[in-house]
Structure 1
Amino acid sequence: MAATNRLAGIVSKINQLPDFARSRALSLFFGKAIPFTGTAGIRIESLDDSHCVISLANKRRVQNHIGGVHAVASMLLAESATGILVGLNVPDDKVPVIKTVKAEYTKRAKGDMRVEARLTEEQKLRMRTEDKGDTTVAVTIHDGEAKEPIEFEMVWAWVSKKR
């Protein structure tokens, strides 16, 4: 992964660690940088500038009243995975901002949750070259039974830090 900004440079260095240490180091780093992800217990399984996989164990601190992962916790997963990808690709003089979040809960989720987010080469190029813009980041979520209980639409924008 070519470093396009400071965040990408840090992630690139962490990704050089041995496999057994990489996920823990990424999770700790983002847990410190974005405290709510650390509080919730989000685990970053893999990360590069095009693809992010994160998970959340179905533990009491993130459960709803029926013992599943709370709706807001699942939203946190989708927002985190997509936001991390956008953050890795916008230059340091831009700031990523969530613009639209849509969620359709189609099935009851069971067990732990796992999210995958992806960016295309075209999306990455736009983020790196356009002064401002927005894009829909592809994201899927799977529960402990490998079902997709929620359909997300996450639209991210990037704007100049200077107004």
Structure 2
Amino acid sequence: MSSPSSLLKIWTKCQSLPKGNWLFSKAVCFKAPYFGSIKPLITNLTAGHCSAIVKNRRAIHNHIGTIHAIAQCNVAELCAGLMVDATVPAKTHRWIPKGMTVNYLAKIDTDMRAVAQIDVPSEWLEKQDLLVPVKVYNSRDELVFTADITMYVTAKKR
């Protein structure tokens, strides 16, 4: 594997600080403000893995008092994007989301925990679609939402 991405280096530095996960999460939301709407807490980030928690609060509820579908999509895209950014070799490749297929399996009436995880490819192609599965669980550890996010990964122009 290539050297750690700059995102992973920042994550690692934050881990040595008090409230490092919170600080890292705030920095991510500053860089990409839309994610701030769900107030995520990134709990783990490695090459091939990212997890986050989103608290159940009224600001992300729908009309029936459960977590809104788009808030679920938002945390899925956040975890997938952070994980891909931490995984793709930044010196040689870049990425962008291309599409997302979601399944709402149950209403979410608790906090939610999202996990994006892939097997890290041993080789990165010139162009490829990278399918990133994301699973979202409620506080009872029940699977309540899934997303398959297609990331378009290409080699950087030299």
Scaled by the length of structure 1, the TM-score of the pair is 0.84
Aligned to 1:132: 127
- Preserved contact between residue 103 and residue 153 of structure 1 (Cα < 8 Å): yes
TM-aligned CA distance change 1:29 to 1:56, over 3 Å: same
Aligned to 2:75: 77
Instruction: Trace 1:56-67 onto structure 2 (pairs within 5 A).
Output: 56-67=54-65
Report Cα offsets for 1:91-114 as digits up to 9, x if no partner.
245332112211111222221111
TM-aligned CA distance change 1:150 to 1:68, over 3 Å: same
Say whether 1:142 aligns with 2:137.
yes
Question: Distance in 2 between the 1:10 and 1:3 partners?
Answer: 13
Report Cα offsets for 1:51-91 as digits up to 9, x if no partner.
21101111121111111111000001111101111111222
Amino acid aligned to 2:31: A
Q: Which runs of 5+ in 2 are unaligned?
A: none
Quote the offset at 1:5 in angstroms.
3.2
Q: Which runs of 5+ in 1 are unaligned?
A: none
Aligned to 2:41: 43
Quote the offset at 1:21 in angstroms.
2.1
Scaled by the length of structure 2, the TM-score of the pair is 0.86
Overall identity of the aligned pairs, in %: 24
Structure holding more strand per residue: 2
Question: Distance in 2 between the 1:11 and 1:3 partners?
Answer: 14
Structure holding more helix per residue: 1
Amino acid aligned to 1:156: M
Amino acid aligned to 1:151: T
Amino acid aligned to 2:13: K
